[in-house]
Amino acid sequence: MVPVGIEVQNLKILNNHEKLNFNYMEAFSPTPPEWTNNAIHAYQFCCPNCKSSSREALQVWLNRRSPVMTEDHRRKWQEFYNCHCGNAWWAWSSDRPPTDLSNQKDINPI
- Which tens digits make up the pLDDT trace of 44-101? 999 999 999 999 999 999 998 888 999 999 999 999 999 999 999 999 999 998 877 6
DSSP state of 86: S
For residues 89 and 11, the model is more confident at 89
H-only helix segments in the chain? none
Residue 11 lies in a domain: no
Domain of 93?
39-97
User: Number of folded domains in the chain?
Assistant: 1
Are 53 and 5 a contacting pair, CB within 8 Å?
Answer: no
User: What integer pLDDT is reported at residue 99 of this predicted model?
Assistant: 79
Please indicate, yes or no, if residue 63 is contained in any of the structural domains.
Answer: yes
What is residue 29's predicted lDDT score, i.e. its pLDDT?
Answer: 80
Cα–Cα distance between 7 and 27 in angstroms, integer? 31
pTM summary value: 0.66
Give the residue among 45, 94, 39 at the shortest CA–CA distance from 61: 39
User: Which residue type sits at 104?
Assistant: Q
pLDDT band for 8, please (50, 70, 90 cuts): very low
